Every structure is written in C-alpha cells, then in structure tokens.
Structure 1
C-alpha cells in the first residue's frame, strides 16, 4: 500500500463483487444508463437501436430539447460522453470495420433532424468515420486516464515532483473522509457557488437528483477533506461503471490548502486501482486545468466529438457568445 508520510491513504472497502471487470461484450458507460439519462434529461431522451436476428447489436441514446427557436440534441448535464455502443463481431479487422460502419450508419439515420447535434464519444470509440461520412464534423477532445492495471506504487512514481509535494503537504494538514452525505456535499457546493457569486452550470435540481441517485445505487461516492478544525474545505464527487471511475465534480473553499483537491484525487486514484478500474480525470477545457491534471502522470487519451449544426443556428450562437460570455462556476477545481 502506498503511503504519504507513513500514513496509509484512507480507502473504504466495498463488498466483493460490487466492482467487476469489463465484460467481453460491448459495455455501456454509466452515462448510458437509463436511470442516469432519465434524471439528466428529465425524461427527454430517446434511443436509436439496430436489431439483427432479434438481438440489439447497436444503440445510441440522445437527448432532445425544443426552445422557442431551436431543436437541439446535446449532451445532458453532468453527462460526459455518450455515442454508439456496438456489439463486436468475430472475424477479420475488415469485417469488424464493415460491421461498425454499417450499424453506426443505421443509428445515425434514426437521429432526429435538429438545428444542433453534439456528442462526445466514449474513449472506447476510437473511430468516428461513419459520422464524418454522414456530414458530421469530427473533432478531438482529450482526457487523462490511469489504466486499471497500474499499481499504486507505479502511479505514485509517475506523479511530477510538484504534485507529489503538494499531496504530501496536504496530507499533513487535512483528513480525508469518504462517503459524505449528498446533503452535506450539495450544501458545501452551493455555499462555494454563492461565495463566488456564480450559478450552477448543471442546474440545481438535476445535480441534486443525480448525486442522490448515484450514491443510492452505489454507482458513485462523495469524499471530503477536513482541516484541523474539523471543517470541510474541499470535496469531490466520483462515479463509476464496470470499467472506469470518473472524476465528476469538485468544490473547495477559497482558502483551502492548495493541495486539497490533489489529495482527494490521489485518494480516489488509489480506490480505483484497488478495484481494478481505470481512473478517468474527465477531460479539461483550459490550459490551467491541463497543467494541473498533467501533474498526475496519467495517459493523455483522445475522445472524439461529433457535431452537426445548421448554418443559421451556428451564426446566431457565435454572435451571442461574443456579445454575452457565460458566467458560470467551473465544475471542477
């Protein structure tokens, strides 16, 4: 067991069987789960599906929102990736490619006509050729991942010296307690938003329902870092499926130790690796976040984005962004 300053990192043991290795067949991510989509979209989602011989061989969920002017299909709140899930076939690489292209094309044909469609595909989908052939713009997005086969000692050795030092420093001043209650986490998150005069980018109601749901279903947990005075100074929300644990949410007070989130993430990494799960840092959208996450020595992993927009929608949204930039609280860090 990796230790920091001779202190074993706190990890709560789960019953054997709670986590399982990925099945041989194509697996849904947690973001594909029906209960997740029901909450994240408030029921406004549909499923494109392809059947062969009475068996579903491919499916792709999508959300639909209608505004006064637009019909939109984007990723729902707190839903990091979606995209097609296609059952593999045996045989040559060429046969598998043909099968994937054919099934994906049938799924795309079932997607609704809308003014703007956008999804980020699960990292297991490494080819968006079918989307490109159907007029979608394909772009590269990135996340950091630590493979499930990595040992704790290997993960520690890959941290850069700055990250390692702030984790050591934070461990001397903070106590990590797992399994915060949803009410405690949400109250803490809301208080930090208010202190910064920011709004919740995900929507208060949806976030509350999802946090409660993934904790109740043992599909996620909430961890907190407490100072010497016993006050909560930082917290993270984690979710998982049979393949990966995802860094979903975090919040901290203004004067929290600079290594508070780093220590929480390191604790989460240990929990993931002990359960043979890949740890996914869930992407980044700025150079500063990239620099922070890069310190953990994880593998840079591509996630493909697929997008199709009508010209009028694209021009209108571009103009709106230039005139009124969004003022929302960054979901992580």
Structure 2
C-alpha cells in the first residue's frame, strides 16, 4: 500500500482542515494488527477526494474496520470540490477503489453527511451521536449552559483539588486503566499501543494531559485532550474508583474546555461521544449539543455477517 499512502499524503497536504484521526502520521501510529491504505479519487491530476481505511485479516478473511483511538474516518473532499454534485461523483469513485474485502465498517466524521452513494452500492447506515460545545460566544456563555448540579460540583472540586499539566503518559495510562478495572475488564488497547499513539500526538503538538490531585498528592482523575484545526476532542479519561465522588472528572472537563478556548483558540469542544446512557446524561448536563454521524457498513459474506452479529450480541 505504499503508493496509495503516498497519494493520500499528497491529498492531506492540500486539505488543511482534515481531522486528526485521518492524518497519515496518526494512522501510522494507531493501525496495529493490520495496515492502512486510502482510496483517492482524482480530478485530472488533482486529488479530489479520499477515503482512508484500516485493513485487517483474520485467517482467510480480509475486512475494513476502525483502528483503536480513531473516532472517525470516512470520505473527505478537497476544499475545491465540496458540493453535492461532487460528493456523488467522487464518493462513487472512492467506493470503486476500495480493496476487495468481506466486510466494511467505518464511523464517518460528522462533516460527511451524505452517505447516499454508499446506500446505492448496497451499504447500510445507522446514525450515532457525539456531543459538542460551541465556544464562539465565550466561556461565560458555556458555563451558563451547565446544569446547576454540574456548577455546584465544580465549585466543590475547585476548592479541594488542583490541576496539573505535567503528568507523564505512562502515569496517565495507569489511571485510565483503573476505570476499566472498576468495570471488571481490561483496556481494549495495550500500553505499547497507547504510548505509540501518545508519542505521535506529542511530536505533532496535538495533545495535552490534565490531572486533578488533592493536597495529599493523590490523583483523583486524569484526562487526555487531543485536537486538530477544527476542534478539540475529550479523547480519554480515567478515575481512581475510591475518589470518584470528589467531582474531579467534571473539573477536568471544564479545564479542557477552558484550554480549548483560551490556549488553542478553537471554536469547538467535542466530547467524543457517548451513546452510553450514563455518559450521555453527563454530556447533556454540560450543555453539549447532539451532533449526528454515520456508522456505515457492508458485508460481502454471510459468515462474516453472522460472526459480527454474535460478537455484538455478546457485548
């Protein structure tokens, strides 16, 4: 796939607002257990659209799926071709350029609102949601949109905790892992993969780690913020199960929002989900705006469809 990757890298150099998840350097870091490639549609000599993908193999089966730490992929258009007529034309070309696989499943970026060309080619879709805050009106307006309980708990946490921004990535992983252990499971990614992904983000100045600690030096919660030219993303977090009542998690969300507005000067803060009922409720309490995006998939094999259904039903 080196030639495909080269064409995609050329496309990326001409698209300044490409999300962080679709950057070649990010895909280099997170695509463990497979390889990444990209379908690139041309308009003459100019790259007009691209669809990066993660190709995996399980036994004799090849399939396209989402890599760890990658919230969105999907099709992206060059700024010169962001009209509906071009979407239909170039999305159809992108589909035709995908490798032969037994299954395809991706979470499209919210900016990819038109999945009709995929529908016409037999793909299926379901709508999912993330939550975002618009920061253009300033932090006072954002704070005013918080639920009363959130504001009360923030005041409580601010009195008892302090924010640090010097936490090492290794230490963050240890706190992040605690949240999984509390639920009786292991993180879906290894320490090595997390650190490789962290190294790529740090080298490209696209991440900040926050933690909240008390006067005794105990870490209550940690948060991992990443960003691109469009938005910041509340990417990962973790809490000490014995200290969750302190409000540290809420305090770190507020700190990440402030950092996005005051330091990064970005207009959007994205919570990166979630559709889990208990998490979704907290996003709403922060005044988050529901933003839809598409999960798009297609099975070229009844066996793969059945196996995927069994996995989802067991989760």
TM-score, normalized by length of structure 1? 0.84
**Which segment drifts farther, 111-120 or 54-63?**
111-120
Q: 1:193 to 1:289 in 2, by over 3 A?
A: closer
Q: Provide the residue aligned with 2:35 in structure 1.
A: 44
In the alignment, structure 2 segments of 5+ residues that lack a partner are 1-12
Query: Displacement, 1:199?
Result: 1.2
Q: Provide the residue aligned with 1:147 in structure 2.
A: 134
Q: 1:224 to 1:163 in 2, by over 3 A?
A: same
**Which of the residues 235, 251, 257 maps onto 1:263?**
251
**Which of the residues 42, 45, 54 maps onto 1:54?**
45
1:174 partnered with 2:174: no
Q: Provide the residue aligned with 1:291 in structure 2.
A: 281
Matched position secondary structure for 1:255: helix
2:129–2:273 CA contact under 8 A, matched in 1: yes
Query: Displacement, 1:191?
Result: 5.1
Q: 1:297 to 1:58 in 2, by over 3 A?
A: same
Summarize the alignment of residues 81-160 of structure 1 with structure 2, pairs less than 5 Å apart: 81-89=72-80, 96-160=83-147
**Which of the residues 14, 31, 38 maps onto 2:21?**
31
1:60–1:82 CA contact under 8 A, matched in 2: yes
Matched position secondary structure for 2:42: strand
Query: Displacement, 1:33?
Result: 0.8
Q: 1:205 to 1:73 in 2, by over 3 A?
A: same
1:214–1:221 CA contact under 8 A, matched in 2: no
1:240 partnered with 2:227: yes
Query: Displacement, 1:198?
Result: 2.4
In the alignment, structure 1 segments of 5+ residues that lack a partner are 1-22, 327-333
Q: 1:321 to 1:48 in 2, by over 3 A?
A: closer
Query: Displacement, 1:197?
Result: 4.6
1:26–1:87 CA contact under 8 A, matched in 2: no
**Cα deviation digits, residues 81-134 of structure 1 (max 9, x gap):** 0111102447xxxx9211111011111111122222111111112221111111
Give the 4+ runs in structure 1 shifted more than 4 A: 23-26, 191-197
Matched position secondary structure for 1:146: strand
Distance 2:77 2:16 in 1: 6
1:89–1:99 CA contact under 8 A, matched in 2: no
TM-score, normalized by length of structure 2? 0.88
2:128–2:275 CA contact under 8 A, matched in 1: no
Matched position secondary structure for 1:234: strand
2:135–2:142 CA contact under 8 A, matched in 1: no
Distance 2:177 2:295 in 1: 30
**CA RMSD between the two structures:** 2.1
